[in-house]
Amino acid sequence: MGNITFCVTLLVECKKIANFARKNINILDMKRTLLLISLVLLSVIAGVQTAMAQKITLYMVGNQTYECDIAQLDSIVFSEGQTIPAEDIVVTVDANDMADGEHWFEKIDETNFYIDDIKYTAQSGDLVVTGYYKAFLKGAANIISQLKYHGRTMNVVGIANCAFTRCGGLTSITIPNSVTSIGDDAFSGCSSLTDVYCYAKNVPSIDLYAFSSTPITSATLHVPAGSVDAYKAKYPWNAFGTIVAIE
C-alpha cells in the first residue's frame, strides 16, 4: 500500500512539472524535463535508489526555477523558485496566437485572453485584469503592462473587482506603472500573499476593501523610491506591515 501511495503521489508531482512545462519552457527544456520524469519513474519501477544528485534544479526560461529533491524516493519535494519581477512586461502575439518569449497565451474570445494564467479583458481600447486561471496560478505572478495583438496595442490600466479573489496560492504580485485603478475585493482572501510590487509612480486609486481578508499587515509593499511617502499616506496601501522602495 505504501508503494502504491508513493507512486500516485509521484505521478501527481510529475503532472505538475508537465503542466508547468506546457506553458513556460522551450523545446530543449521540455526534453530535459521529460528525461527527469522518466528517470525518476524508472527508479521507482526498478525499486532501486537513484544514483542522481540529491537535488536537481530545472532552470526554465524567464526567471522561474523548479527544484526536485530525489535523495529519497519516498520523499519527493517539488517547490517553485523565486521570480524576479520586471517593471514593464510587453507581450506580442502573432497571427497564430503564439506569444513571444516565455509567455503563454490563450484566446477565450475577441475581448478576453489568458496571459501567463492571468485573465485580461479589452475595454475601450485598453485592458483590465478580470480574473485568473484557477487551475494553475500560484507563486509569483506578473501583470503585463501592454499587449500587442493582431495590430492592436492595448495598455493594462486596471484591476477589476474580485480579479484575484481567494487566490490562495498567490505569494507575490507585480503591478505595472500603467495601472491606475484597483477594484473592490481585487485581492481579497489571498491568504499566502507576502509581497506586492507596485511600479505605479502615481498611487493608483484603490477600493478600501481591495485586500480584504488578506494578511497585508505581515506583507511587504514594494514601490518606486520617489513614491514611498505617497503610498504611506493612503489606505489600504499604508496597512502593509512594511513599505519599502524598489531597489
**pLDDT for 88-105, tens place per residue?**
899 999 999 999 998 999
Say yes or no: 45 and 119 in one domain.
no
User: What letter represents residue 51's amino acid?
Assistant: A
Say yes or no: 57 and 116 in one domain.
no
DSSP 99: B
Number of domains in the chain: 2
Sign of CA dihedral 215, 218, 220, 226: positive
Say yes or no: 102 and 205 in one domain.
yes
- pLDDT tier for residue 135 given thresholds of 50, 70 and 90: confident
DSSP 30: H
**Would the pLDDT of 141 be above 80?**
yes
Task: Report the alpha-carbon angle 96-98-100, nearest 5.
Answer: 135
- Mean pLDDT, range 231-243, rounded to an integer: 98
Return d(Cα 115, Cα 135) in angstroms, integer.
14
Domain termination site, one of 24, 58, 80 = 80
Does residue 29 sit within a domain? yes
Q: pLDDT higher for 67 or 137?
A: 137
Say yes or no: 128 and 212 in one domain.
yes
pLDDT given for residue 247 in this prediction: 76
Say yes or no: 149 and 102 in one domain.
yes
pLDDT given for residue 87 in this prediction: 75
Q: Which three cell numbers stand for residue 143?
A: 501583470
Strand partners, 155: 146
Query: HSE-up of 135 (CA within 13 Å, CB side)?
Result: 6
Domain termination site, one of 80, 114, 149 = 80
Q: What mean pLDDT is reported for the chain? A: 78
Q: Residue 236: CB partners within 8 Å, gap ≥ 6?
A: 206, 208, 209, 210, 211, 216
Q: Which three cell numbers stand for residue 157?
A: 490600466
Its pTM stands at 0.68
**Would the pLDDT of 63 be above 60?**
no
Q: In terms of DSSP H, where are the helices of 47-127?
A: none
Give me the domain span that covers residue 99: 90-245
